[in-house]
Amino acid sequence: MRIPVFALGLILWALGPATALEIEDHRLYPGTGDRILRIVSTTDLAVFEPYIQAFRRAQPGVSIDYSVVSSSVLHRAILGGAQFDLAVSSAMDLQFQLANDGFAQRYNSSATEALPDWARWRDLIFAFTTEPAVVVINSARFAGLSLPTTRQELIAILRDNPDRFSGAVGTYDVRDSGLGYLFATQEDRSTDAYWRLNEVMGRLGPRLYCCSAQMIDDVAEGRLALAYNVLGSYAAERLARDSGGRVQILKMQDFSNAMLRTAFVPASAQETEAAGALIDMLATLALREAPGDWPLPPLSQAGAGQAIGFGPIRLGPALMVYLDPLNRRAFLTEWENAMEQR
Amino acid sequence: MNETTSIGQRLTLLLAVMAALLSVLSWGMVTGLARQAAERTQDNVLAASATTIAETLRSEQGEVRLELPYAAFAMLGAISEDRVFYRVTAADRMLTGYHDLPPPGGGTQGQVVFDTGVYSGATIRMASVTRLVLAGAEPVPVTVTVAQTRDGVGAIASDLSRLAAILSVAFFFVAVALSAFVARTSLRPLHNIADAVSRRGPSDLRPLLRAAPADLAPLLSALNRLMDRLGQSIRRSEDFIAEAAHRIRTPLATVRAQAEIALRSVEDEAEKQRLRRIIRAVDESSRSAGQLLDHATVAYRAEDLTRDPLDLADLAIQTAAAMEPTAAMRDIRLRLETVPARVTGDAVLLDNALRNVLDNAIKYSPEDTTITLRVARTGTEAYITVTDEGPGLGDGPVESLTERFRRGSNTGSIVGSGLGLTIAADVLRAHGGRLELKSTEHRRGACVSLFLPLA
């Protein structure tokens, strides 16, 4: 089989000679046997560990090697043919493109068959959570202000209180974060308020982040008054741990993006059986009725497109549109113009 | 009879084979058409996608710019879960997309060109559209190619093919049922003719004058010719019998006259006895010949029966009068009880029948007895009953007594031809009536009834 070399991937993510993967976190969970399931994931270890433990209880013979990387590193790793048995990522556009370009292998079981049509594509890629993008605020720094419920109100509050919010708003640096770019492009497509919000934030000297967790930390610490487009599941998990009441989650009523966290078995995987078993477990949990103790939410009951603006982002070839280098360059130029006004 | 497969079965089988062939053919055609339709749908969406992208082509500061519209790919994702590839080239320079996508086939500008190729281990369908974009001083041809794998097309085609297969099988079974029905329907005229022929009476040799399909007309006319020949041959043999009887009767009459004369002239008792025996034998022969003649007459006249109105009472009176001398010879009285009973028929034949029955009665009655002729009617029938005081009909089955040359089991020494009741029965049958035989109560005498439908 001829593996297509996708120009885009090489241009964008070949930042210098990438000899080693930039691994943010790594842990090996030894099993009783000699089989090792190698997982590459964008999900923080703290969030994903309950799933790993559950899997180890079910399959004690399998060791698990879990590496946390950024979504772009994950994309590059799979393009480069790195040896992983399962790829889990929140950047569903990059995941989709890998599957489309032939870097994923088919997997099919009764558990994956049970997933709704919009939560899987060609038996290659499977969604197991629906996670909305939210606004996280520091309650103390919002004292005396009415909480915004729509982007219009948010724009008004930011515009009317430049002193309070100057240097205190944070959002994804969409140049670095795959998930941030996905949220930004989907918002660009869905609401025109997005660019006006960017203009307003740009005037306030926004702080740009690579990851949701750091943004939430900074909001909790009071370094940020507001973080825009944060992964709701992380914020909720953080809120559960941190009971200070300092952090509040706002869900915009006018429009809300919901991302699907997806998993696939890379074409180069060795332990396909164990990887399939983990996908089965995730797919089964994705359809659970009660939220339970799991850190990540299940699939939303509403399918893609059922509630306009609130359903999950559709898993389909349209995701590749914003990954096109020309489109990406144009989008980033516009974004930089809005965000970097100083 | 040497039976081969029935025409109905063979016809059904042939039609079923044809239906099977047509079913397979229609299944193949539907499958092909379904595949074509699915492919055309994909082509249309690919063309729309490529055209949508090409519409965004523009020139900015001497460079070709474009922007992939979200809808261009969303529409591809909406129809199937097929993998999508694309490429945009300006002249020979790659602008964006998958650079190793197979090049599109040649085509004129502005038109969408379709091509099929292999990429990334899968068969793909490509739609390319070329537009001239003014970049700098020179217009540059920019080609947009959008490609998709064909799994969705295959899935739709195989779904429809399966549906078509189910429909074809159903169609086949319906066709077989219809074939059986058609076979039976088209063979009905043949069965009708066969029924008509087998329903006919034993001596009914009239031609079949029924409407028949053109295909059966030769068979029908051949059958009619055969019956005609058969009728002629029967008539010839009847003629022959009549002729023979006639020719025998005349010399017999001479022999009888001579014997009577001789009887009167001889004295010797032994001679007289011998002569009387001769006379009696001649009488019997003459009677037999007469009956043969009657039989031939009946067979001949029954074929084309005249139907004149007549009264059974008159007939009984006339016939009784004619038979009176014969009865008187043996001191037998003929008693008549009549009511008027109008029937239609051939007077000659009916007289013949009654005379044969009466002759039988006289012959088998002891001397000095009474024979009763009674004419009566029931609701729809008229009948003449002839009752004698003779020995009755014996123990054998009475029906068989009307068979030709069959005689009762108790006829003893009485000479007879066994034709009398046959003639009577034939005549009545020809008139739509019947002959009934039974012994009278206490087994004293026979009772023969001639039934005829009332006029």
Considering chain B, what percentage of its residues have pLDDT values greater than 70? 92
Instruction: Give the number of domains in chain A.
Output: 2
Answer yes or no: do A251 and A138 share one domain.
yes
Burial of A89 (0-12, 13-18, 19+ CB in 10 A): buried
Q: Is there a contact between B119 and A317 if contact means CB atoms under 8 Å apart?
A: no
- Report if residue A1 sits inside a domain: no
Q: What length does chain B have?
A: 455
Min distance A274 CA to chain B CA atoms (Å): 26
Within 8 A of B85 by CB-CB distance, chain A residues are 4, 100
In a domain, A320, yes or no: no
Assign A3 a pLDDT band (cuts: 50, 70, 90). Answer: very low
pLDDT reported for residue A269: 92
Is the Cβ pair B74, A314 closer than 8 Å?
A: yes
Which residues of chain B are at the A interface, by a Cβ-Cβ cutoff of 8 Å? 65-74, 76-78, 81, 83-85, 94-100, 119-121, 151
Query: How near does any CA of chain B get to the CA of A82, in Å?
Result: 19
Say yes or no for a CB contact (<8 Å) between B73 and A101: no
| Per-residue pLDDT band at B417 (split at 50, 70, 90) | low
What is the pLDDT, as a whole number, of residue B24?
93
Judged by a CB distance cut-off of 8 A, whether residue A100 touches chain B is: yes
A92 and A26 assigned to the same domain: yes
Q: What is the predicted pLDDT for the residue at A8?
A: 39
pLDDT at B85: 94
Distance of alpha carbon B395 from alpha carbon B399, whole angstroms: 11
Q: How confident is the model at residue A7 (pLDDT cuts 50, 70, 90)?
A: very low
Asked if residue A222 and residue A123 are part of one domain, the reply reads no
Work out the average pLDDT over B155-169.
91
**Nearest CA among A136, A109, A93 for reference residue A319:** A93
Does the beta-carbon distance from A330 to B70 stay under 8 Å?
Answer: no
From B31, B42, B29, B44, select the one nearest B153 (Cα to Cα). Answer: B42
A321 located within any domain = no
Residue-level length of chain A: 342
Using 50, 70 and 90 to split pLDDT, how confident is the model at A201?
very high
User: Residue B290 contacts by C-beta under 8 Å, 6 or more apart in sequence?
Assistant: B245, B249
* Region class of A222: left (phi > 0), else alpha (psi between -120 and 50), else beta: left
Q: B68, A326 in Cβ contact below 8 A?
A: yes
Antiparallel, parallel or unpaired: β B333-337 and B370-377? parallel
Sign of CA dihedral B246, B250, B255, B260: positive
The answer to whether B73 contacts A100, with C-beta atoms less than 8 Å apart, is no
Q: Do the chains contact at A100 and B83, CB–CB below 8 Å? A: yes
Residues A162, A232 within the same domain: yes
The mean pLDDT of B102-109, rounded to a whole number, is 73
Q: Does any domain span residue A304?
A: yes
ipTM value of the model?
0.82
Q: Is residue A124 a contact partner of residue A103, using CB atoms and an 8 Å limit?
A: no
A137, A253: one domain: yes
Residues B243, B235: Cα–Cα separation, whole Å: 12
Return the residue of A nearest to B66 by Cα: A326
- A2 within domain boundaries: no
In a domain, A195, yes or no: yes
Instruction: Kindly state whether residues A122 and A163 are assigned to the same domain.
Output: no
* A189 contacts chain B (CB < 8 A): yes
Strand A35-41 and strand A86-89: the pairing is parallel
CB-facing half-sphere around the CA of A90: CA atoms within 13 A = 30
Assess whether A210 and A335 both reside in one domain: yes
Q: At a CB cut-off of 8 Å and minimum separation 6, what does B202 contact? A: none
pLDDT in tens, A260-280: 999 999 999 999 999 999 999
A185: in domain? yes
Q: How confident is the model at residue A10 (pLDDT cuts 50, 70, 90)?
A: very low
Contact A172, A179 (CB under 8 A): yes
Return the residue of B nearest to A185 by Cα.
Answer: B70
A9 — pLDDT class (breaks 50, 70, 90): very low
Are B120 and A102 a contacting pair at CB < 8 A? yes
Tell me whether residues B120 and A2 touch, CB distance under 8 A. Answer: yes
Residue B416 in contact with residue B361, Cβ under 8 Å? Answer: no
Read off the pLDDT of residues B23-55 as tens digits, 9 standing for 90 and up: 999 999 999 999 999 999 999 999 999 999 998
Contact A32, A71 (CB under 8 A): no
Taking alpha carbons only, the member of A215, A208, A194, A169 closest to residue A334 is A194
Write the CATH number for A222.
Answer: 3.40.190.10
A75: left (phi over 0), alpha (psi -120 to 50) or beta: alpha
Check if the beta carbon of residue B432 is closer than 8 Å to that of residue B410. Answer: no
Q: Is the pLDDT of residue B101 over 60?
A: yes
Taking CB atoms and an 8 Å limit, are A4 and B95 in contact across chains?
A: no
Measured CA to CA, the distance from residue B39 to residue B46 in angstroms comes to 10
* C-alpha distance across the termini of chain A, in Å: 50
A324 and B96 within 8 Å at the Cβ level: the answer is: yes
Instruction: Give the position of tokens 């998993």.
Output: A263
Helix (H/G/I), strand (E/B), else coil: A6: coil
The pLDDT value given to residue A18: 41
How far is the CA of A142 from the CAs of A149, A164, A168, A200, in angstroms? 14, 9, 11, 17
Residues A34 and A149 occupy one common structural domain:
no
A61 has a chain B CB within 8 A of its CB: no
Radius of gyration of chain A (CA): 20
pLDDT at res. A304:
47
Say whether both A16 and A126 belong to one domain. yes
Which pLDDT band, with edges at 50, 70 and 90, does A1 fall under?
Answer: very low
Q: Which of A320, A329, A332 to mutate to test the interface with B (most CBs of B within 10 A)?
A: A320
Contact criterion met (CB < 8 Å) for B97 and A7: yes
The domain of A106 spans 7-130+260-314
Specify the 3-state DSSP secondary structure of A218: helix
**Assigned domain for A65 exists:** yes
- For residue A293, the distance in angstroms to the closest alpha carbon of chain B comes to 34
Q: How far apart (Å, rounded) are the C-alpha atoms in residues A206 and B247?
A: 147
Mean pLDDT, residues B141-150: 91
Query: What residues contact residue A223 under an 8 Å CB cut-off, 6+ apart?
Result: A168
Mean pLDDT highest for which of A78-82, A274-278, B4-8, B301-305? A274-278
pLDDT of res. A4:
44
Do residues A230 and A303 share a domain?
Answer: no
Do A104 and A163 share a domain, yes or no? Answer: no
**A-chain residues near B77 (CB < 8 A):** 314, 316-318
3-state class (DSSP) for residue A266: strand
Across-strand partners of B377? Answer: B382
Cβ A7–B120 below 8 Å, yes or no?
A: no
Contacts of A290-296 spanning 24+ positions with Cβ under 8 A: A293/A50, A294/A50, A294/A51, A295/A46, A295/A47, A295/A48, A295/A50, A295/A233, A295/A237, A296/A43, A296/A47, A296/A51, A296/A128, A296/A129, A296/A131, A296/A233, A296/A261
Q: What is the pLDDT of residue B446?
A: 83
**Predicted local distance difference test score (pLDDT) of residue A328:** 92
Give me B287's structure tokens: 């009677």
Please work out, in degrees rounded to the nearest 5, the angle formed at the alpha carbon of residue B92 by the alpha carbons of B89 and B96.
30
Q: Are residues A44 and A146 in the same domain?
A: no
Closest Cα in chain B, distance from residue A189 (Å)? 8
